[in-house]
Amino acid sequence: MDRLSEILIRFSMNAQVFFSGNLCGIKPFGSPDNSEGHIHLLKSGKLTLINDQGEKKVFERPTVIFFPQATHHRIVASESDQAELVCASIQYNDGFNNPLANALPKFLYFDLGTSEYLGQTAGWLFEEAFNERCGRQPMIDRLSDIFLIQVLRQVLEDGTVAHGMLAGLSHPQLSKVLIKIHQQPEENWNLETLSNMAAMSRSKFAELFKDVVGQPPGDYITDWRLFIAQGLLKKNKSVGLVANEVGYENGSALARVFRKKTGLSPKEWLDKFNYSAGFKNDP
């Protein structure tokens, strides 16, 4: 499997369009108490983006503006700016705990004219969003999902992210290692096996991995296993079965990792997640 598909299969990101048309005035986005990101596609005209620090940036060309995580920002356009745009929210089934969202920068933007594939998909999305055809809403939502994947591809191909998981996936040698870790979290990975996979010495590999990904290989593997375990627990799989699927000998070993990383047992973590998601247990 390729470097992006495994992550998208395990940790879903879905875009849902909630606005398309001419923007006039000030529109705020991003609430710190939810996990929605936002993506804005400027078709034509001019808009001003004001970030959570009060800094302004003006866009006057067809552009995609991407906030992977919940980030307060405002978009400003006057009537004379004639800003035509499509706005979509990005939902994560994993709430705040989506590793892909966490690996992305706070804010990204791309000129649609510089990327053939982004431009093609955006053109199709605009065509649907600004015309009243049957099946319009489901079509633009699905096109938004496709467009979101195109944006992530662009991030990987451009090497936009300097550190973290996506930076590692953009690296020619480290990407091979990360893909294997992502696909097979249950394997008994060790430094020698991983460094051989990258065709490097153990010391050079460990140093490079930490510099690019931001943490030692062992810590990354533990965090990835925890991400996977949390997803499996939410599917009501037993702690013992989850432990085996992510490379731990038994449920007790997994519970120790949970306690160390989250301060909670697997059951306590799941109860907390369900409560925050609105699935409060009956007393």
Q: What is the pTM of this model?
A: 0.83
Q: So where are the chain's domains?
A: 5-158, 166-276
Q: Does domain 5-158 have CATH number 1.10.3470?
A: no
Summarised one tens digit per residue, pLDDT across range 112-156 is 998 888 999 999 999 999 998 999 999 999 999 999 999 999 988
Q: Does the structure show a pLDDT above 50 at 282?
A: no
Query: Average pLDDT of 81-104?
Result: 84
For 200-245, write each residue's pLDDT tens digit.
Answer: 999 999 999 999 999 999 999 999 999 999 989 988 999 999 999 9
Predicted pLDDT at 174: 96
Q: How far apart are CA 247 and CA 195, in angstroms?
A: 19
CATH class of 166-276: mainly alpha
